[in-house]
A = this chain, B = another copy of it.
Amino acid sequence: MRPIRIAVAGLGVVGSETVRLLRARSESLRQRMGTRIEIAAVCDRHASAMAKRLGLPASVRRLSDPRLLPGLPGVDAVVELMGGLDAPRSLVLASLRQGRHVVTANKRLLAHCWKELGQAAAQGRSRLHFEASVAGGIPILKALDTSLAGDRIEAVYGILNGTTNFILTRMAEGMDPAAALRRAQELGLAEADPTRDLSGQDTADKVSILASLVTGSWLRPAQVNTSGITGVAPEDMAFAETVLGRRIKLLGTLRVLSRAGRRPAVEAFAAPVLIPLAHPLAAVRDEFNAVLVRATSAGDLMFYGRGAGAGPAASAVLGDILALGRELVSGAAPASAPPGPAPVLGESACSFYLRLAALDRPGVLSAVTQVLGGLGISISTIHQPGACGPKHIPIMLTTHPARPETFRRALRRILALPDISRRHTVMRLLP
């Protein structure tokens, strides 16, 4: 078997570490794969300098423009580790269409272009591996796609974003949110612009990938009910921990509500959730990731590890390169399962947490409880911790399980009450 020639696009921390490991572990990879991996080309804005720093031989082509990569002859597979969306999209689609295989860690690309990517791969009869796109070094995607594929996945709950989990961990210890973000940035756990992390969009992308894999049909990131952690205040954390015995985590959630009928019904969230302290996901601290899979036969499975960083991402990329290599050595035809029916979005009843800001006047609490009671929503806990400003005081409450549309109707009425501010925070409780 001739060597498999790859081009690595993007020599940032993950790309550099991938190249380093491919060279350092080349003999062990060859033994496990049955052939050699040969780095034919690297592509990076600073390709020459990076190639020099990595000690690559002169035979490795250096490209600074990824648009030249699809035209490069003699490349079997492209390893895309550039990040971003537009440039990787062009590169990966062109490569797949030309029959080149692709390994990528790019969650945005997968989540936003799932269907296009599948079509391009089918057109080129090429293969696409993307384990590193969700939960870094944790092999959750292959587990869902292979080992658990004979089971029925009922739900997936994941702490999928290390940045926000680090911030929430510090906040649970009493640190101010802005200070927690600065600390994350100092440690290299948050980017200069952390918007996609804090807003939940990064988690939504990963939920989209998990949902598309589980249902066999693309669930767009925009279909994931997304809210970030910017609405989570220190008083929410304190109330959750001390009064409710719960911890707030940004959770990516996929629940398969029904498989009856032609189209499955799913519920997809990327939102902060109040988790019981005894739940295994509540113990996941700092920048760690964890995924809990609920399967009909296997029961609850949990996968835990580092979701980010050069090492874990490169480990997953190497696993993908190895899987690809084995497929090519074995002569296997690429799998081409037809997409399943698109899922419909549903919502299931759940308990809600609500923080309001109210004028400190007699009768406010009674007005709020009247609205909820009038719509048949029963209150579990209600708490008015005292004045927090010159005029408005917070009211925190949790409900017993309620239908989301009923809760939203109640919320609209509550926010229209004269003594209630429009400012508020809503989160769900994990049962």
Contacts and interface: CB of A to CB of B under 8 A. Distances in A.
A25 B150 contact: yes
A152 B335 CA distance: 29
B314 A297 contact: yes
A336 B149 CA distance: 25
Contacts of A338: 31
Interface stretch (A46-54, A241-249, A325-333, A394-402): A325-333
A319 B142 contact: no
A148 B32 CA distance: 11
Nearest to A296: B311
Interface string A8-45: 00000000010001000100110110100000000000
B319 A21 contact: no
What is the size category of the interface that chain A forms with chain B?
A: 35 or more
A344 interface: no
A288 to B, nearest CB: 9
B302 A216 contact: no
Nearest to A305: B301
Contact of A150 (B301, B315, B329): B315
A280 to B, nearest CB: 7
Q: Which 9 A-B pairs have the closest CB atoms?
A: A150-B318, A139-B147, A137-B298, A332-B332, A330-B332, A297-B315, A301-B305, A298-B315, A297-B311
Interface of A: 17, 21, 25, 28-29, 31-32, 34, 131, 136-139, 142-143, 146-152, 216, 280, 283, 295-306, 309, 311-312, 314-319, 321-323, 326-327, 329-338, 340
